[in-house]
Each structure stands twice: as structure tokens, then as C-alpha cells.
Amino acid sequence: MNLREILVLLISFFLAVTIILTFRKIINYRKNSIRKSKQSSISNDEEVKVELENFSEEDYIDDDIPPEPELSSDDLIYLHIESDQSNSIQYKDLLNYFDSNDINLADEGGWLKIYLDNSNNFSLVNGLKPGKFLPEEGIDSTSIITMILIANEQNNCVEAFQNMAEMSYKLAAYLSANVLDSDRNKLTKQMYDHYVQQAEETDLKKIKLS
């Protein structure tokens, strides 16, 4: 065997070893990839299980159901009627007053909905907690009542406020009480005009949207 043949054999041997080592690396890489994939799958399954265990119906939000709109301060105009004497405003006296003056109302379960002309209305509630009159529970009197006008629900907001204010003054006289603004200060002409302006802005917005 000459030198040339010996070199060919050596080169062939090294090539074979290199090929074998390369195949071993490829096989080991695939095994490691499979193991990592299985571990990742198990980890993801565990995460899903944890998320499902922590999930409750209260967390569920149905995108098809729009949230109820929240009222802002611009949507509400309200006045108070307050007596100087504690618990002097009786629920039965309120009902008698509205009945004797032929004022349409609806008892909504402890608070009253007062119907005005031209499809306008406002609510009358107990100005103290729990915000209702509950005669069956002994809550049949208060020292303050509150009239609430939801501006954007009125057919004519200016007219509705003026009627609510007029009725508030008459009711306050009947109860020997005082009419207060939303901050429970005596209602002044300046605050009255401010509420009228707020009502006008609401009517203008409705006209622009129609």
C-alpha cells in the first residue's frame, strides 16, 4: 500500500466520523426540541387550568350588551325642600297635597314620580337615607325632600324645570318649609337663572341631534 492510498483511507475515515457526529447532533437536537415542546404544552395546559379555576361569571362581560349610560351632573337638575323642624314632613301629607291639587303621580316604591304637562316629569324622594319613604318600616317622615329632574328625558326641559320650581315653592309653603338649591343653600334668582340656562342648553342639544 503506497502513501497515496493511505492518505485516501485516512481522509475517508475522518469524513465518516464527521458525518456520524453530525447525525448524532441532529438526533439530539430533535429529541431536545420534542421535550421542550412537551414541557411547554404541559405548562400552557396548567396555565389554562389555573385561569379557568380563577374564572367566575362575575368576570364575564358580554360585548353584545351595551353598558347602561351613566348620568352626569349636567343631566340632573334638582331642588330641595327643607323644614326647620326634624321629621316634620309627613309622607301622608305629601300624598294629600298632590291629591287635593289633582297632580298626577305614581308611587315607585317609596318615591314619587310627578307627571307634568307636555310629557314632562320629575321625581320626589326622601332627602335623607335611605332615600325612600317606607311606612311599613316606620320611615314615613323626614326633614327634607328632593325633587330630581332628568334633563334629557324631558320633552321641554325649560318648561319642565319652571313647573317643578313653581310646584316646589307651593309645596314648601304648604309644609312651612324652604326651597333650597342643589347645594342646600336658599334658592336665589341667580341659581334659578343658572338652572334655566342649563335646561335651555339641554333643549338645544336635543334640537341639534334631531
> Is residue 120 domain-resident?
yes
CA distance 86 to 94: 16
CATH number at residue 85: 3.30.1400.10
Total domains, the chain: 2
> Is residue 65 domain-resident?
no
Sign (positive or negative) of CA dihedral 12, 14, 15, 19: positive
Q: What is the mean pLDDT of each run of 10 residues along the chain (210 residues)?
A: 52 51 53 51 46 42 42 81 91 95 94 92 94 94 96 94 97 96 96 96 87
What does the pLDDT read at residue 69?
42
30 is in which domain, residue-wise? Answer: 3-59
> Does 89 lie in the same domain as 33?
no
- Contact indicator for 133, 145 with CB cutoff of 8 Å: no
What does the pLDDT read at residue 208?
83
- Reading the block at residue 76, the C-alpha cell is 340632573
- Reading the block at residue 2, the C-alpha cell is 503506497
pTM, two decimal places: 0.65
What does the pLDDT read at residue 207?
86
What does the pLDDT read at residue 191?
97
Residues shown for the chain: 210
> Does 134 lie in the same domain as 160?
yes
> Is residue 68 domain-resident?
no
Give the number of C-alpha atoms closer than 13 A to the C-alpha of residue 180, restricted to the C-beta side.
Answer: 16
